[in-house]
């Protein structure tokens, strides 16, 4: 460690529930935190969820108090729409260069009134809505966004594409639009770093037997979450993407890509048995006369009250669980044909479905591997971050002063993510406390010398 006094300030990369929990634990203990996210607002994937298993809490209702607390915290500096470019130094004094992407909006002047979004004439497909909804070229991720400041997407903005449109600039009541804005870099210093870059879902394009992502009525689990969400593109109604009709037969496919070494995903994605049971249950809540089918290899519902939740899905919601793999999914008229095998009865199964929902695997969040290289951390073959000691030091990395939490370490649900984030925060706090004790000891020794 360096001779100078170490810096008791933490930098966290990723502001999903893991990064936010770690930030709050550290900041509420009296230390400063810099919280970086590549997206314009915080909350991560949890902001896309509808209700959470096993309690069926409204995700937004339990997330929003956290995002608001983080957003207003005196000791948390939010650096969103930004990415870490370089990390120099060492434990006690990391120097982190961060690239801030241009939002083309002066966030200090902006009041978040939303007029620019309302009047913007250009609509594009929204990633946040998993392709089921649209957003404007100038946008916030969701109505509950923290910070509630828009960004302008240069690739879709008419002005940047050569048109004369400057509508956002004209309607902004406080002159906050800045079409000449450029990105910049800032440097932040921190004694410890926490990695919390979360997960993405495996792309459906690579799943040939399920139609390569080309079939309108075959969607992934996060798209179904958006459909279930009251603030989502269908206002919580279950509607077929192709024609807006209410689907009466829905097939849910577990392990759609997971546990398949040939696809590079030999591991179990861990949350899908529960998220699928939740999807089947919530589908029946929305469409009581509908029928849900679940194809599964086996049901892994280890967790407090998890098994009971799956049993409710089967018994109370009359979901038909079929043990077996799906061999092919293809369009047949306005239906989706699902061919599979029921290995318990040893029979071929063919279902003419209105909608198919694939539980695709969790993979490490974009940029995790590059960040790992930059920081000198190890990642496994799938790209998830490796522990210093998976049994005894599960939130420590091979690099002193760098900790990790959440789905960037491996697939996990929210309770496990939150617990691990508090574990990482505790490691940061104990490191700071140790430095404090050393400093106290040195001061006492100096006082004795006088």
Ligand X SMILES: Cc1cc2nc3c(=O)[nH]c(=O)nc-3n(C[C@H](O)[C@H](O)[C@H](O)COP(=O)(O)OP(=O)(O)OC[C@H]3O[C@@H](n4cnc5c(N)ncnc54)[C@H](O)[C@@H]3O)c2cc1C
Rule CB under 6 A: which of 299-338 touch ligand X? Answer: none
Nearer to ligand X, 25 or 37 (CB): 37
Binding-site string for ligand X from residue 222 to residue 241, where x marks contact by CB under 6 A and - marks none: x--x----------------
Q: Which helix (H) or strand (E) holds 106?
A: none
Stretch binding ligand X (CB under 6 A), from 13-21, 330-338, 425-433, 437-445: 13-21
Stretch binding ligand X (CB under 6 A), from 180-188, 220-228, 244-252, 254-262: 220-228
275 binding ligand X? (CB under 6 A): yes
> How large is the C-alpha radius of gyration of the chain?
24
| Phi/psi at 109 (5° precision) | -85, -30
Nearer to ligand X, 178 or 225 (CB): 225
- What whole-number distance in Å separates Cα of residue 185 and Cα of residue 181? 13
The two structure tokens encoding residue 292? 């849900």
Stretch binding ligand X (CB under 6 A), from 92-100, 107-115, 362-370, 387-395: 362-370
As beta bridge partners, residue 95 has 88, 189
Residues 287, 256: contact at Cβ < 8 Å?
A: no
46 binding ligand X? (CB under 6 A): yes
The two structure tokens encoding residue 296? 């599964």
Nearer to ligand X, 412 or 427 (CB): 412
Long-range pairs, 320-324, Cβ under 8 A, ≥24: 320/291, 320/292, 320/293, 320/294, 321/293, 321/294, 321/296, 322/293, 322/294, 322/295, 322/296, 322/349, 323/296, 323/297, 323/298, 324/295, 324/297, 324/349
Binding ligand X (rule: CB under 6 A), the pick from 417, 427, 428, 429 is 417
Q: Which helix (H) or strand (E) holds 315?
A: helix 306-315
Q: What contacts 263, CB < 8 A, 6 or more positions away?
A: 202, 206, 207, 257
Please state, as a whole number, how many other Cβ atoms lie within 10 Å of the Cβ of residue 448. Answer: 7
Q: Which helix (H) or strand (E) holds 279?
A: helix 272-286
290 binding ligand X? (CB under 6 A): no
**Local structure of residue 293 (DSSP, 8 states):** E
141 binding ligand X? (CB under 6 A): no
250 binding ligand X? (CB under 6 A): no
Verify cis geometry, omega within 30 degrees of 0, for the bond prior to 20.
no
Instruction: Return the residue matching tokens 């574990």.
Output: 423
278 binding ligand X? (CB under 6 A): yes
Q: Which helix (H) or strand (E) holds 351?
A: strand 347-353
Would you call 247 exposed, middle or buried from its count of C-beta atoms within 10 A (0-12, 13-18, 19+)? buried
Binding ligand X (rule: CB under 6 A), the pick from 6, 40, 44, 147 is 44
Binding ligand X (rule: CB under 6 A), the pick from 83, 129, 178, 354 is 83
Nearer to ligand X, 11 or 137 (CB): 11
- Considering the complex, what minimum distance in angstroms separates the CB of residue 272 from ligand X? 8
Binding ligand X (rule: CB under 6 A), the pick from 330, 413, 422, 426 is 413
Nearer to ligand X, 177 or 408 (CB): 408
Binding ligand X (rule: CB under 6 A), the pick from 6, 10, 11, 14 is 14
Stretch binding ligand X (CB under 6 A), from 2-10, 91-99, 221-229, 385-393: 221-229
384 binding ligand X? (CB under 6 A): no
Binding-site string for ligand X from residue 165 to residue 204, where x marks contact by CB under 6 A and - marks none: -------------------------------xxxx-x---
| Phi/psi at 277 (5° precision) | -60, -40
Stretch binding ligand X (CB under 6 A), from 8-16, 100-108, 254-262, 435-443: 8-16
Rule CB under 6 A: which of 21-40 touch ligand X? Answer: 36-39
17 binding ligand X? (CB under 6 A): yes
Binding ligand X (rule: CB under 6 A), the pick from 12, 18, 98, 404 is 18
Binding site for ligand X (CB under 6 A): 13-19, 36-39, 44-46, 49, 52-53, 83, 196-199, 201, 221-222, 225, 271, 275, 278, 365-367, 371, 406-407, 412-415, 417
């Amino acid at each position: 460690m360096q001779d100078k006094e170490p810096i008791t300030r933490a930098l966290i990369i990723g502001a999903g529930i893991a990064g936010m929990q770690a930030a709050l634990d550290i900041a509420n203990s009296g230390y400063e935190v810099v919280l970086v996210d590549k997206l314009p607002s915080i909350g991560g994937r949890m902001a896309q969820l509808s209700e959470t298993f096993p309690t069926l809490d409204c995700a937004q209702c339990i997330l929003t108090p956290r995002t608001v607390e983080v957003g207003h915290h005196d000791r948390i500096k939010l650096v969103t729409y930004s990415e870490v470019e370089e990390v120099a130094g060492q434990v006690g004094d990391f120097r982190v260069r961060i690239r801030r992407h241009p939002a083309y909006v002066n966030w200090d002047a902006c009041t978040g009134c939303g007029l620019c979004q309302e009047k913007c004439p250009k609509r594009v497909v929204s990633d946040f809505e998993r392709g089921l909804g649209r957003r404007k070229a100038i946008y916030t991720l969701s109505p509950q966004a923290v910070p509630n400041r828009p960004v302008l997407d240069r690739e879709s903005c008419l002005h940047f594409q050569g048109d004369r449109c400057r509508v956002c600039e004209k309607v902004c009541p406080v002159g906050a639009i800045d079409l000449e804005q450029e990105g910049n870099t800032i440097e932040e210093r921190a004694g410890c770093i926490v990695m919390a870059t979360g997960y993405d879902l495996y792309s459906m394009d690579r799943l040939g037997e399920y139609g390569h992502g080309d079939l309108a009525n075959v969607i992934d689990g996060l798209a179904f979450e958006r459909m279930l969400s009251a603030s989502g593109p269908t206002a919580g109604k279950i509607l077929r993407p192709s024609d807006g009709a209410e689907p009466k037969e829905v097939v849910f496919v577990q392990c759609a890509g997971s546990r398949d070494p040939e696809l590079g995903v030999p591991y179990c994605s861990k949350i899908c048995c529960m998220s699928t049971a939740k999807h089947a249950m919530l589908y029946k809540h929305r469409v009581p006369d509908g029928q849900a089918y679940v194809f599964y290899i086996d049901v892994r519902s280890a967790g407090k009250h998890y098994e009971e939740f799956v049993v409710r899905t089967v018994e109370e919601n009359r979901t038909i669980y079929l043990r077996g793999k799906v061999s092919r999914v293809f369009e047949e008229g306005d239906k989706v044909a699902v061919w599979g095998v029921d290995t318990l009865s040893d029979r071929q199964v063919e279902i003419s479905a209105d909608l198919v929902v694939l539980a695709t695997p969790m993979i490490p969040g974009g940029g995790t591997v590059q960040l790992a290289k930059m920081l000198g951390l190890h990642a496994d073959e799938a790209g998830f971050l490796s522990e210093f000691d998976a049994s005894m030091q599960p939130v420590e990395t091979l690099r002193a002063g760098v900790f990790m939490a959440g789905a960037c370490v491996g697939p996990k649900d929210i309770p496990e993510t939150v617990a691990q984030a508090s574990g990482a925060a505790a490691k940061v706090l104990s490191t700071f406390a140790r430095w404090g004790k050393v400093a106290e000891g040195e001061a006492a020794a100096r006082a004795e010398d006088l």
